[in-house]
Structure 1
Amino acid sequence: MTVSIVVVSHSENIADGAAELAAQMAPDVLVLTAGGTADGRIGTSLEKVLAALDHAAGGDGTVILTDLGSAVMTAESALEFAEDPAGVLLADAPLVEGLVAASVAAQGGADVQAVKRAAEAVRGPSQNSGPPPQREVSEGSVTGQGPDFTGDFELINQAGMHARPAAKIAGGLSALDAEVTVNGVDGASMTALMTLAAGKGSVLHVEARGVDAERAVNYVGGLVQAGFGEP
């Protein structure tokens, strides 16, 4: 099983659209929505949030993401009635980018704490721990002394650095205790990675510092060398 995610939004359309996007990145993750009021108006519904949490119960934990302040209050009220409040975490993260990063982390098998950190890490450099799944890179790809490691990896997937690869990189790195840059931008930020506009054949230069520095470079290298699972 994986960690589930609940999206709380003032708009049913926004919640459903964000969940649809996340499903493209992480098809095996249960993303439940609680958008709008019970009668279809703009607003939030405690009953909808509680129903989503009930549906998610029994898994490996649940992370809640919200859009605006009153949605946070509704989510906090729902936590008071949750059967297992310790297994439900409220993330302070941008709704769409945080949801994508959290979903990718959950798809990779991260625990509930790491999924929450993945969502929150889109705000800036990660200081978190909890490794994503590992992919081995070819011998000699990673170099480094002590805590600092670097690697250079050529993009082989046809579409290059688009949303899905950026989300996979950012979601995984956010769960590691390392500061990572990719071609000079924050490796834990999906948005920053997409601004690279790196096409097929471009080389990603990865630099990492911290306890999980080598693991981080190997993670990015493994994704790139596997073509992110794309043609």
Structure 2
Amino acid sequence: MIGIVVVSHSPALARSAVDLALEMVGESPPPIAIAAGAGDGIIGTDATRVADAIDEVASAEGVLVFMDLGSAVLSATMALEFMATTEEVRLSDAPFVEGIVAAVVLAAAGASLDEVDGESRAAMDAKRGQLDRQPAAVHVKPVEAVIENSGIDVTLVNPDGLHSRPAAAIVKAMAAFEATLTIANATTGKGPVAANSLIGILSLGANTGDVIRISGTGPQAAEAVEALGAMAVDGFGELPDTRIGA
């Protein structure tokens, strides 16, 4: 996995952003190092701390560095002169919180530095899409699960639709298959987007009751589509337990 470094003026801010991202990936996160604060409770950043953080998580897969604002960028740039590693290190211009979450999820799925870098830089797209006027709905007859060749239509039953946690679960699950999957919101006409893109999935704005269309190609496409369909039918584990006494 690639390494991720978080540079912030505030240790509390950095830790909170990382904790949010880690909630999405469970027990197999990528290597993450935090370089936050200037020591002794001073708000600021320190280039030597950033260099040490880079060296801590560096590997042949590369390192992606996130910065919050102002002098964090300067410190990260200076750190490139101080670091000991000769592996590739990139400074990301992604939005701080959204970029970190997107990067951690995709890196945990084994994506390359190029893929994680691109995903994190697009991390604001989903928010922009949600704030824009929604396209006219396409009327599609809802179905629970109908498999057709390498595709399946599933009606979302989890209360909050495809929000960040189910999206992260999809990205993680798809890493196990040799297949390329896409997801579209058949109810609104949005998509398709890559099933291994957290930001793409969120951009669908798929809510409970919407029909998502999952399609796939590749040697394990049928298995991957079936697995993702089963996750959706199960509500991505978010359905309330209705057993008596539960």
Calculate the TM-score normalised by the size of structure 1. 0.68
Structure 1 residues 19 and 50: alpha-carbon distance in aligned structure 2, compared to 1, 3 A threshold: same
Q: 1:169 and 1:120 mapped to 2: Cα distance?
A: 20
* Amino acid across the alignment from 1:8: V
1:6 pairs with 2:5: yes
Distance 1:185 1:16, change over 3 A: farther
Q: Do the aligned residues in 2 keep the contact of 1:12 with 1:36 (CA within 8 Å)?
A: yes
8 A Cα contact 1:185 1:192, kept in partner: no
Aligned residue in 1 for 2:116: 115
Identity of aligned residues (%): 34
Corresponding residue number in structure 2 for 1:147? none
Deviations 1:35-91 (CA, angstroms, capped at 9, x unpaired): 221222221111221221121134632211111132122111112222335422222
Residue 212 of structure 2 corresponds to which residue in structure 1? 204
Aligned equivalents of 1:89, 1:224: Cα separation in 2: 36
Do 1:152 and 1:204's aligned partners in 2 also have CA atoms closer than 8 Å?
yes
Preserved contact between residue 108 and residue 172 of structure 2 (Cα < 8 Å): no
Which residue number corresponds to residue 133 of structure 1?
none
Conservation of the 8 A alpha-carbon contact between 2:183 and 2:201: no
Change (3 A) 1:48 1:171: farther
SS of residue paired to 2:38: coil
Alignment equivalent of 1:226, drawn from 228, 231, 237: 231
1:140 equivalent to 2:145? Answer no
Task: Specify the alignment match of 2:202 in structure 1.
Answer: 193
Contact 1:180 1:206 in 2 (8 A): yes
Letter in 2 for 1:193: L
Compared CA separation, residues 189 and 3, structure 1 to 2 (3 A) = closer
How far off is 1:124 after superposition?
Answer: 3.8
User: Aligned partners of 1:50, 1:203: CA distance in 2, in Å?
Assistant: 47
By how many angstroms is 1:225 displaced?
3.2
Q: Which segments of 5 or more consecutive residues in structure 2 lack a partner in the other structure?
A: 127-144, 175-179, 239-246
Paired letter, 2:115:
A
Give distance in 2, aligned partners of 1:138 and 1:10.
51
Residues 18 and 115 of structure 1: CA distance in aligned 2, closer, same or farther (over 3 Å): same
Q: Which has the larger radius of gyration?
A: 2
Distance in 2, matches of 1:9 and 1:178, equals 35
Which stretch of structure 1 is more off in the superposition, 94-103 or 39-48? 39-48
Query: How far apart in 2 are the matches of 1:39 and 1:110?
Result: 37
Q: Structure 2 CA distance, aligned partners of 1:43 and 1:138?
A: 55
Q: Output one character per residue of 1:154-208: Cα deviation in whole Å (capped at 9) or x when no partner.
A: 23556532321234568999xxx99975444565574983783612x5322469x
Structure 1 residue aligned with 2:81? 80
Q: Tell me, in whole angstroms, the C-alpha distance in 2 between the residues paired with 1:196 and 1:95.
A: 22
- Please give the secondary structure, in 1, of the residue aligned with 2:23: helix
Q: Helix, strand or coil: the match of 1:25?
A: coil
In structure 2, distance between residues paired with 1:75 and 1:68 = 11
Please state whether the residue corresponding to 1:33 is helix, strand or coil.
strand
Instruction: Structure 1: give runs of 5+ residues left out of the alignment.
Output: 126-136, 144-150, 208-212
Secondary structure (helix, strand or coil) at the match of 1:104 reads: helix
Q: Is the 8 A contact 2:10 2:43 kept in 1?
A: yes
Q: Answer yes or no: is the 8 Å Cα contact 2:99–2:123 preserved in 1.
A: yes
Preserved contact between residue 153 and residue 221 of structure 1 (Cα < 8 Å): no
Match for residue 244 of structure 2?
none
Provide the aligned C-alpha RMSD in A. 3.8
Residues 94 and 198 of structure 1: is their aligned pair in 2 closer, same or farther, counting only changes over 3 Å? same
